[in-house]
Structure 1
Amino acid sequence: MVKEAGLGAMEKPNHKHVADSDLISPAKKAKKSEEAGCDTEDPKIPSGAEDEKQEISGGEEAIAAVGDRAAEEESSSCVSEEKKGFLIEAAAAEDRGGRQTMEDVWVVLPDASLDFPGKLRCAHFAIYDGHGGRLAAEYAKKHLHLNVLTAGLPRELMDVKVAKKAILEGGWKDGATAVCVWIVDQKVFVANIGDAKAVLARSSSASELGNHTEASCNPLKAIVLTREHKAIYPQERSRIQKSGGAVSSNGRLQGRLEVSRAFGDRQFKKFGVTATPDIHAFELTERENFMILGCDGLWEVFGTSDAVGFVQKLLKEGLSVSTISRRLVKEAAKERHCKDNCTAIVIVFKRE
């Protein structure tokens, strides 16, 4: 049964990122965001990335948040926004998968300018993947984008360095992993902490954008725009060890927490858990077809090229973005038997 997304009642904690023997309760009040610098360069997307092994190591660190969603089945919202010759269509869907509770929270804002004036288009999309509850994820959903705008995301003359600084200082509060996208004019910013991913589907030639029938004849390149933050990975392990933490043989920080960057998890902050995100930016061109944002539950059963091919096929069939997002999540949860909560946002770029 498909339901519209909404805030749900609090439910029992999810064990997904935390060892069963030691659950983590999300903090009700967030502590102040850590100070950090920002990139001075605008990294480019590699042209040859075609599978989940291809990752972009982005520029910065941030803060994470936890949340839980009480919806029992898929949830969908479809929106569109048009400016500068691009039409953006986006939709989200969710399923609790093999879990008893839903702790993912998502945001789809095609017009994300709120009450902040500016001449440039601003759209915002995000998935907050909670562990140990959904309080922090709900908090991030409510406050993060507003804080980013307050921190000065440029809406007049585009300045990449200033935009990244605004995102970094945008009040990343306690308790979940996250993948967030801001589209300002034709510049796309991707920020992530933890193991949620953003994947870009790119054409081999500019002529294929907006012509999904033609593009379907040639497989699109799947480009991973995020870098996973897990305690077992060498770069993250080194940072944890320098902070006095340890990674056990099961790949978990202090034997308990799988991710090394997250909102909240305060008891692990002294052991190296940070909420500083990687931030990546790129320009929309005629080669960008669509993006898929997904929590780790989606990528547990879908390879990145697999997911891109799945969406590309449905676009060829002329299905709406809303239907495609639901089909993607249904395939993951019902057909491929995802054991975790599963949430996805599909963002399609078209030219007039």
Structure 2
Amino acid sequence: MSEIDDSVTGNESQREATDAEPNPKHKRDSDSETSTSVEKKLKTDDDRKPEEVGFGGIGPQKDKPVLKEMGFEIEADAAEDKGSRHTMEDAWVVLLDAGLDTPGKLRCAHFAIYDGHGGRLAADYAQKHLHANVLSAGLPRELLDKKVAKRAILDGFRKTDESLLQESVAGGWQDGATAVCVWISGKTVFVANVGDAKAVVGRSSTSDVVQKDSDGVGPLKAIVLTREHKAIYPQERARIQKAGGTVSSNGRLQGRLEVSRAFGDRQFKKVGVTATPDIHSFDLTEREHFIILGCDGLWGVFGPSDAVDFVQKLLKEGLPVSTVSRRLVKEAVRERHCKDNCTAILIVFRYK
């Protein structure tokens, strides 16, 4: 997606969803592309093999796409479409066993979407390095300490951005990428984001846990777990101005970049762009049914509540997670005319 054009920051409270804005502007004003080819990118259920689930389909995951963990199972899958853009600048990660070189020894799962702008080099770099950096920074392996875990995520984001910037100087590129990331360790969920990619959880009411309807559960409430980082928002604008940057009348940093937090974007680092994420954590209960991660292309045509209703309906029909994630992206691109790159990850919790 095009990122020289987005962002804001946040707190750690959960927020009830509001409707989506119209199709988002490109993040970089120089990124607009027009193309009518949207049919080729979506993979059908028969096209995609289970072993393709992993680092954006680049590195295979050896596990089955189901993780059994402490009284519940996790199923997850991703789908993507380049929309009407000429190139795909998103990257994603689905790791049900996130121990990397020591599978099975880390009780943790990891999911992420990196939405590139100005190219996909920054998105690819973060995809390959962020999780390893978070692990090396000390994401707890057994006795979970939430403060230690959040500190590890912060350190992992910082280390990734610092090394990415060094790579971009050496390579002569200036790409940037927003990110939304989830780590699930035991029953604790950690959500971290920079930029305008979002995470939304579908949560049932307390009464639904006790008394379910004939379909299994009543309508779910959509809770937004992330906070957008855009230069036009007061908190981000103040931070940018303190760093010596400006926010123009079109809401863009230096008249060009809409997001105020992202990996890379080295030409904007001195004027307030940072890769410091907002981090939120919560413990899973039977009220949490699934989490949707999406780049801003998805949320430009889907409101959070709309997306949760769409996913819940398909899951109630008994469709597999892989099919539901693809239907969600297909609906966004082909029916709702998302013109940006569109990527979504669906994480479903099945309680025993």
1:279/1:290 Cα in 2 relative to 1: closer, same or farther (>3 Å)?
A: same
Q: Partners of 1:257 and 1:122 in 2: how far apart? A: 35
1:176/1:321 Cα in 2 relative to 1: closer, same or farther (>3 Å)?
A: same
SS in 2 for 1:192: strand
Deviations 1:321-343 (CA, angstroms, capped at 9, x unpaired): 00000000000000101010000
The residue that corresponds to 1:334 in the other structure is 334
Question: Which ranges in structure 1 are unaligned for 5 or more consecutive residues?
Answer: 1-13, 20-41, 54-70
1:212/1:317 Cα in 2 relative to 1: closer, same or farther (>3 Å)?
A: farther
Q: Does 1:177 align with 2:163?
A: no
Q: Partners of 1:315 and 1:117 in 2: how far apart? A: 29
Deviations 1:172-196 (CA, angstroms, capped at 9, x unpaired): 3243000000000110000000000
Q: Does 1:129 align with 2:115?
A: yes
Structure 1 window deviating more from structure 2 (109-118 vs 172-181): it is 109-118
Q: Partners of 1:200 and 1:264 in 2: how far apart? A: 28
1:213/1:45 Cα in 2 relative to 1: closer, same or farther (>3 Å)?
A: farther
The residue that corresponds to 1:138 in the other structure is 124
Q: Partners of 1:123 and 1:115 in 2: how far apart? A: 14
1:115/1:315 Cα in 2 relative to 1: closer, same or farther (>3 Å)?
A: same
Contact map agreement 1:212 1:315 (CA 8 A) in 2: no
Report the TM-score, using the length of structure 2 for normalisation.
0.79
Contact map agreement 1:212 1:316 (CA 8 A) in 2: no
The residue that corresponds to 2:239 in the other structure is 239
How far 1:18 moved relative to its partner? Answer: 2.6
Question: Which ranges in structure 2 are unaligned for 5 or more consecutive residues?
Answer: 6-10, 21-38, 54-64, 165-175
SS in 2 for 1:169: helix
Q: Does 1:156 align with 2:124?
A: no
The residue that corresponds to 2:79 in the other structure is 93
Structure 1 window deviating more from structure 2 (118-127 vs 174-183): it is 118-127
Q: Does 1:282 align with 2:282?
A: yes
Q: Partners of 1:212 and 1:259 in 2: how far apart? A: 42
Contact map agreement 2:17 2:303 (CA 8 A) in 1: no
Q: Partners of 1:98 and 1:212 in 2: how far apart? A: 41
Q: Partners of 1:250 and 1:297 in 2: how far apart? A: 19
How far 1:253 moved relative to its partner? Answer: 0.4
SS in 2 for 1:229: coil
Contact map agreement 2:3 2:177 (CA 8 A) in 1: no
Q: Partners of 1:219 and 1:349 in 2: how far apart? A: 16
The residue that corresponds to 1:105 in the other structure is 91
Q: Partners of 1:172 and 1:215 in 2: how far apart? A: 42
Deviations 1:279-317 (CA, angstroms, capped at 9, x unpaired): 000000111000000000000000000000000000110
Deviations 1:155-183 (CA, angstroms, capped at 9, x unpaired): 11010000001111113324300000000
How far 1:213 moved relative to its partner? Answer: 6.0
1:274/1:290 Cα in 2 relative to 1: closer, same or farther (>3 Å)?
A: same
Contact map agreement 1:197 1:227 (CA 8 A) in 2: yes
Q: Partners of 1:134 and 1:212 in 2: how far apart? A: 45
Aligned residues: 296
Q: Does 1:302 align with 2:288?
A: no
The residue that corresponds to 1:293 in the other structure is 293
1:116/1:348 Cα in 2 relative to 1: closer, same or farther (>3 Å)?
A: same
Q: Cα RMSD between the aligned structures?
A: 2.3
**Paired AA for residue 227 in structure 2:** R
Contact map agreement 1:297 1:339 (CA 8 A) in 2: yes
Q: Partners of 1:143 and 1:213 in 2: how far apart? A: 45
How far 1:136 moved relative to its partner? Answer: 1.2
How far 1:113 moved relative to its partner? Answer: 1.2
Contact map agreement 2:229 2:261 (CA 8 A) in 1: yes
The residue that corresponds to 2:61 in the other structure is none
1:43/1:272 Cα in 2 relative to 1: closer, same or farther (>3 Å)?
A: closer
Aligned ranges 1:5-24 → 2 under 5 Å: 16-18=2-4
SS in 1 for 2:263: coil
1:319/1:208 Cα in 2 relative to 1: closer, same or farther (>3 Å)?
A: farther
SS in 1 for 2:129: helix
Relative to total residues, which structure has the larger helix share, 1 or 2?
2
Equivalent residue for 2:41, pick from 38, 53, 73: 73
Deviations 1:201-248 (CA, angstroms, capped at 9, x unpaired): 001037549x896345x2101000000000001110010011111100
Deviations 1:28-75 (CA, angstroms, capped at 9, x unpaired): xxxxxxxxxxxxxx95646xx24359xxxxxxxxxxxxxxxxx95125
Q: Partners of 2:145 and 2:249 in 1: how far apart? A: 44
Contact map agreement 1:212 1:312 (CA 8 A) in 2: no
Q: Partners of 1:206 and 1:113 in 2: how far apart? A: 37
1:212/1:340 Cα in 2 relative to 1: closer, same or farther (>3 Å)?
A: farther
Contact map agreement 2:182 2:190 (CA 8 A) in 1: yes
